[in-house]
Chain A
Amino acid sequence: MRTTMGVAAASAAVLLIAGCGGGGPRSSEGEKLTDGKIVLGVLNDQSGAYSELSGKNSVKAVEMAVADFKAKHGDKAVTGDITVVTADHQNKPDVANTRAAEMYDRKAVDAIFDVPTSSAAEKVADVAKEKRKPYFNITAATTTLSGVKCNKYTFHYAYDTYMLANGTGRNSTEQGARNWYMVYPNYQFGQDMEKSFSTAVEAAGGRVVARDAAPFPNTSGDYSTYLLKAPTLNPRPDVLGTMQAGAELVNLVKQYNEFKLRDKGIGLAVGLMFLTDIHSLTPAALSGTVYTDAWYWNYDVQNRKFADRFQAETGTRPTFAHAANYSAATQYLEAVQASGSDDADTVVGALEGKEVEDLFLRNGKIRAEDHRVVHDAYLAQVKPAVEVTEPWDYVKILKTIPAAEAFKAPSPDCKM
């Protein structure tokens, strides 16, 4: 009897040791996490101007990343307890600031994602730095996030003004659009974009014939002054470069068509455009327009597969913001898995310098110097209406812009 007890105790002890050392049971691995769980925070605009291009569907994309991560790692996952929390920052810097602090402090959020609107994104970068917690910016365009505002915990993921300007400005100029007329909204984003675009155009041997700041907000909703001016300029511009966004872009494009500028030989290049913008304007209104895209849903089989799943969940096709949120959440979770820890410094260390290939990041690399996440970008052109054979498939990719060319070299302004 005593012998049997001894054997049982011995085998129990062996099993226990094996269990601990073998890395199998999730409970013992979970203890490596500070609180046994991972909470991802999506902080973005849920009802305003950016709510459709990102918004609630970005939350859905992050949830898809969590589901895929759990399915991939199963019992071997660093923890099974991964949740997604979300908040609306209404594109206001002060609200973003408060919500971000609240997420890190009270909601036990391990990493924040998305955060459109440059001014709000900069505030969140400050909070991330102060709280020493990771922050993946997806939808803000300002290069300051990997410049003066860069810090150890902030990663700038999808795109920035340099990528847009260099992609569209430089490539269009190289492809023959030598003379440009720039129209931009008179506030920081518009002014920055105009400067970046003009620099890119001139660097490629083109010329900016004229540049005009339009009132912002443009209460009259009318752009005819600029549209009428375009054909009278000398030399006559080959392309009208517009830096307007959202409803202002819609107004401008509708009126561009009204004045038939394309028929007069003046093409249209848009500084920043999302798939949702093309959808609301219709491809017919934009046909021939050139812009730079960070990702396109129907680019290849892998993207299309994701887009089909995304559509089943949300009823719409993903914008690049959605795909990038999915990718950032995946890369964060994989880094936690690989390092077996949710300690911010450890995870950041695991991400720095990493070369990545995933749904969104093609030839991707997370630069250690400034945390700019570089990847291939695409020069896109809206198809003529007759070539659009299925809803949302509005674009043909003219050219892949290699990662090294798409983004600018680390800025000396960035002191990690």
Chain B
Amino acid sequence: MTGFLQNTFNGLVSGAFYALLALGLAVIFGMLRVVNFAHGAFYMLGAFGAYILLAEVGVPFWWALVLVPTGLGLFGMLLERAFVHRLTRLDPLYNFLLTFGLTLILQDVVKSRYGIQSSPYATPAELGGSVDLGLFDFPTYRVFILLFAVAVCAGVWWLLTHTRIGVVVRAATERPELTRAFGIDVGRWVTPVFGFGVGLAGLAGVLAAPMRAVNPLMGADLIIVVFAVVVIGGLGSIFGSVAAGFGIGLIQAWGEAYAPPIVAQTLVFIVMAAVLLLRPAGLFGREESSA
């Protein structure tokens, strides 16, 4: 029982990363109809941002948690204005190529400066211990990630449901043409929303730095699973992305603990295939209207 609970907790921690990344992807897709293939690279930049701040400037983890997502958010806004924006009216393939190209460029820039070998980043001392959860001890840092990610997801949920920006974003996500017809300038919100999504990826990267290898390719493997998560949750569905993120984390952890390795390795994609067969729009997605 204890082992099962421990695996469940760890699954939720992995799921927290998926949820944060999928949330950003979903927000961006909803508003811009852009499948952001550079999301993994932004996650990687988040981790490197934390590393650079600590190793080269001496800025600790806590500040990185604020500074890196903010900086990356601004960088995202700049990219949106400079590139993504110009391509949104064209075939979606153009933005796919753009964001894919961006990934390669960002990876190579980081690789040329910091090499392929992982860069060291230690767990902040305050979070180095473990917490007694009754049946077992659990590393404090993992508890922190879990609470923090849940808080961020809840915060985003509150923003979307209780603020005017949220109403516009949700309306534009679900019925872009109708929202415009009401005289709401959807275009105004596109850039900040893109920046926000990029900032969330950066935040996940900062959180990953102490417990995962910080290297230029760290986003490349992960993003494949995150895309599966978004598809399972329903493309564009904000709630679906978060729920599927945590769900996939759990399934992977249980799979690794209780299923043969070959099954554990492909479990996410088995689940994705099954979901797509039963609900082609994903668990929480709606069929796209032709409008």
A positions within 8 Å CB-CB of B: 47-49, 51-53, 186, 212-217, 219-222, 224-226, 228-229, 232, 246-248, 250-251, 254-255, 257-260, 276-277, 279-282, 284-285
Contact A247-B215, Cβ < 8 Å, known A217-B221, A228-B3: yes
Rounded to whole Å, the gap between the CB of A352 and the closest CB of chain B is 37
> Of A49, A186, A222, A279, which is within 8 A of B265 by CB?
A186
> Of A53, A212, A219, A279, which is within 8 A of B222 by CB?
A219
> Which size class do B's interface residues fall under?
35 or more
B positions within 8 Å CB-CB of A: 3, 6-7, 10, 13-14, 111, 115-120, 122-123, 130, 139, 141-142, 208, 210-213, 215, 217-218, 221-222, 224-225, 249, 252-253, 256-257, 261-262, 264-265, 268
Query: Cβ of A258 and Cβ of B7 under 8 Å apart?
Result: no
Rounded to whole Å, the gap between the CB of B61 and the closest CB of chain A is 14
Query: Cβ of A247 and Cβ of B218 under 8 Å apart?
Result: yes
Q: Which residue of B lies closest to A224 (CB)?
A: B10
Query: Cβ of B224 and Cβ of A251 under 8 Å apart?
Result: no
Contact A284-B14, Cβ < 8 Å, known A186-B265, A258-B211: no
Rounded to whole Å, the gap between the CB of B158 and the closest CB of chain A is 29
> Of B210, B249, B257, which is within 8 A of A254 by CB?
B210
Rounded to whole Å, the gap between the CB of B256 and the closest CB of chain A is 4
Docked CA distance A247–B118 (Å): 7
Rounded to whole Å, the gap between the CB of A35 and the closest CB of chain B is 36
Query: Cβ of B253 and Cβ of A276 under 8 Å apart?
Result: no
Chain B hits for A225, CB < 8 A:
7, 10, 253, 256-257
Chain B hits for A276, CB < 8 A:
117
Q: Which residue of A lies closest to B257 (CB)?
A: A225
- The 19 sampled A-B contact pairs (Cβ below 8 Å) are A51-B115, A51-B116, A52-B115, A53-B117, A214-B256, A219-B224, A219-B268, A222-B253, A224-B6, A225-B256, A247-B118, A247-B213, A247-B218, A250-B213, A254-B211, A254-B212, A257-B123, A258-B142, A282-B120
Docked CA distance A70–B225 (Å): 54
Listed residue (A248, A251, A254) with the most chain B CB atoms within 10 angstroms of its CB: A254
Docked CA distance A285–B128 (Å): 13
Chain A hits for B264, CB < 8 A:
215
Query: Cβ of A255 and Cβ of B211 under 8 Å apart?
Result: yes
Query: Cβ of B268 and Cβ of A48 under 8 Å apart?
Result: no
Q: Which residue of A lies closest to B267 (CB)?
A: A215
Q: Which residue of B lies closest to A213 (CB)?
A: B261
Query: Cβ of B118 and Cβ of A215 under 8 Å apart?
Result: no
Rounded to whole Å, the gap between the CB of A141 and the closest CB of chain B is 18
Query: Cβ of A228 and Cβ of B10 under 8 Å apart?
Result: yes
